[in-house]
Chains A and B, each alone.
Chain A
Amino acid sequence: MSDHDHDHDDHAPTREDDDLELTEGEARFLALKSLLIEGGVMTADEIRARMEFNERGSPHQAARMIARAWVDPDYKARMLADTKSAAAELGIEATEAALVTIENTPERHNMVVCTLCSCYPRSLLGEPPAFYVSKAYRSRAVREPRKVLREFGVDIPDAVDIAVHDSNADLRYVIMPMRPQGTEGMSEEELAALITRDSVVGCALPVEPA
């Protein structure tokens, strides 16, 4: 196994897979990267900077926004009207052309899928999870959403309608889950901790407070 005393790029995020075997895929990417740098298309510094920028896109961003919306009706109204501006209010730079927030209600549960590829609000949720990009989820979510949700342990009663949103073109979707009962005295930060990535895709409900 390789040792770790050799000199890596300054400021690079941890090479957490340094002890993994080099695969054909990675080798091909490294070849591509070196050709792009040699060809003057981009620099290593630019790649590093963009990686750092991308690291900011994480489920915590969506959670912050939704927690704020739960405690501040005016913010919630602004988020529903213009999600991108509402993100900017919290210092989140959304690179998506258009973001839409859909609110769960006692009458309607919402979930998102991109059947054609993997469209996802990455600025607010990071890279999509394995299930979201899987062919099984992309195939089945539009046809049997209740069955798919049950696989996630979410059982939506028939009295509640389900709306599936196929994120197939230019909009990117954020689901705003309902605030759980028993959270009345909780701070925004405590509330944000209840909002999981999957609950913002509509494949889970927020964590119940202890």
Chain B
Amino acid sequence: MVDKLTTDIGGDSAGPVPQEDRDQLFWEKQMIAAFNLLQVKGVVVTDEFRRTVEEMPADYYANSTFYGRRLDGMVRLLIEKGVIDADTIEARTREILESGTRDHV
């Protein structure tokens, strides 16, 4: 018996299903489009991406949002594959946050 994957939650008990919906934000749409391209171009494979989400620590997964963990999983996978560098994306993220504007990207 192998430990249950963090994503393997079918049949678990849980509270009420959230009924309120929300529209995707612009950057979330952009992100999905960029991720689609990564797949179409063969840079990543869906199952690799799922695996990186499954490898997240259980408490991180439990507290993550849908788009948040997608971004996180993809960043981890692209670092693993050497497409991007961990320090570079961290530094770039800080830079953008400090500038507080979307306009320079």
Contact = CB atoms under 8 A, between A and B. Distances in A.
A117 B93 contact: no
Residue of A24, A26, A51, A151 with most partner-chain B CB within 10 A: A26
Nearest to B68: A25
8 contacts: A14-B26, A22-B101, A29-B27, A32-B71, A54-B33, A140-B12, A143-B11, A151-B16
A17 B25 contact: yes
Nearest to A24: B97
Contacts of A140: 12-14, 17
B70 to A, nearest CB: 9
Contacts of A143: 10-11
A28 B71 contact: yes
Given A36-B84, A54-B33, A22 B26 contact: no
Interface of B: 5, 7-27, 29-34, 36-38, 41, 43, 50, 53, 62, 66-68, 71, 74-75, 78, 83-84, 88-89, 92-93, 95-97, 100-103, 105
A130 B22 contact: yes
Contacts of A137: 17
Nearest to A43: B37
Given A22-B102, A142-B11, A129 B21 contact: yes
Contacts of B53: 117
A13 interface: yes
Contacts of B95: 31
Given A22-B101, A117-B53, A33 B34 contact: yes
B36 A35 contact: no
Given A117-B50, A138-B10, A30 B18 contact: no
A134 B18 contact: yes
A50 interface: yes
